Amino acid sequence: MAISSRTIKNKRNSNGELTGKPGAVYDVNIKYRTVDGWKTYSKKGFFTKKEAQQHEAEMKLKLSNPSYSPIQSSQGRMIVKDYMLEWLEIYGQPNLRPSTYASYKGIILNYVIPSIGHVRLREVTPAMLDGIFRKMFDKGLAQCTVRNAQRVLSVSFEGARKYRYIEQNPARDVLTKFGKQGDTPEPYTIQQLQQLMGHVTGTEWEFIVMLAGFYGMRISEILGLRGRNISMEKGTIAVVEQLPFRLPAGTTIVEQMAPVKGKGADNAGERLLPITDVAHPYFERHFELQARQRDLTVRGGGVYYENDIVVAKANGAPHRRDQVSSNFGQMLRRSGLAHIRFHDLRGTAATNIHQLTGDFFTVSMILGHSLKGAGISLGISTKLDSVTAKYIDVRFERIKEVLDIYHNLLHPKQKTEDGSAE
């Protein structure tokens, strides 16, 4: 008989949770012919006979195809915990950036394994995954966090399907809907950014906020910017490296920076940004401040750490990005300005530049985004891919022209008594 039933003492429900009650489960056993002779296929533990019958029909059709290869039953019996940890090492370490790897690992250890870590890989159902998402929502977690968990599960189980450990990817059939997160702050308008710049002028925040709000640089790019990558003579900023992820507390020397995420619309070539006439005074003031800090630290008998980092502590040691983000939020609360995250200054630059110029391609070059990433950031539906991007030539002159329009609007030139601009 292809389908058989058996009684177990502690049956699980559809979410994979033990009920403490006995119940019947159904096993599918199919004998099929191959070029090598007769073989058997089995899958056990269906909650209902209807599910078992449906699976039997699907598998009989697939097994009748000589080219079809059934799943590896030995790997299918692996529990989720063992597979996920193995997947993290095999896939995560070589393919994910350190920050993404840490995010994936946190979700797996904190939410996936405690919920279904004990379940066999081949017995995971979409209902179990919906159960994980429901528990995360019940804990008050943000929708973006739950959506990220769905992404992790989808990618990891797709790997199991491709390896033939499981027949189907259960994450594809979840019922949970992920709408747009409602509490994501809107980027600042030109007027709001002007208010912020007025508030931070003359403070330690002036240069950092300028780089984020004027150029859309990432916080790690700002904190990893070195003096050697800035040329005041040529008027250029080379964005080629960033602060390493999760810098340990108390770090004073950074031996090596990490590479930036992308360098242009096609992620190829150097990402070179111009120091505009409006931005030039900010650079001058910051370098003068840094020189004074270094001189006073040395004169006072302190140690100055020669990291060549432009945005550093008074003794030259690097900032930690999580600390900068936290302090930025506190600064906004004290100022009474509208709440945004530090990263939203990057979106502020992107949105304002695009609204002013409509130049989608140049915005992607300035941000160091792929075309797809820039489109998502700006809310533009685009089907442009990396192949198309190779034919887009955004020259440095055009980048400067676009940034000049944006920066000049932030800092309009004042008129003299005779009516001429100065």
Instruction: Give, for all 422 residues of the chain, the pLDDT tens digit.
Output: 588 888 888 887 766 667 778 888 888 888 887 777 788 878 777 778 888 888 888 777 777 776 666 555 555 578 999 999 999 988 887 888 888 888 899 999 999 999 999 998 888 999 999 999 999 999 988 888 899 999 999 999 999 888 888 888 999 999 998 765 555 678 999 999 999 999 999 999 999 999 999 999 999 999 999 999 999 999 999 999 999 988 888 899 998 998 887 544 344 457 899 999 999 999 999 999 999 999 999 999 999 999 999 999 999 999 999 999 999 999 999 999 999 999 999 999 999 999 999 888 889 889 987 655 555 555 554 454 544 444 445 688 999 999 999 999 999 875 445 555 55
Dist. CA 360–CA 378, nearest whole Å: 9
- Count of Cβ atoms closer than 10 Å to residue 339 Cβ: 10
Two tokens at 206? 């002036």
CA 205, chain centre distance (Å): 25
270-297 burial by CB neighbour count: b if 16+ within 10 A, else e?
Answer: ebbbbbbebbeebbeebeeebeebbeeb
DSSP state of 165: S
What residues pair up with 237 in beta bridges, in sequence order?
230, 273
Place of tokens 């609360």: 333
Give the Å distances, CA to CA, from 184 to 142, 218, 313, 344: 10, 18, 30, 9
Residues 6+ apart with CB under 8 A from 173: 126
Q: Which residue has the tokens 């009920």?
A: 19
Whole-structure pTM value: 0.65
Q: In this structure, how many other beta carbons lie within 10 angstroms of the beta carbon of residue 342?
A: 21
Phi, then psi, of 32 in degrees rounded to 5 = -140, 155
The token pair at 1 is: 């008989």
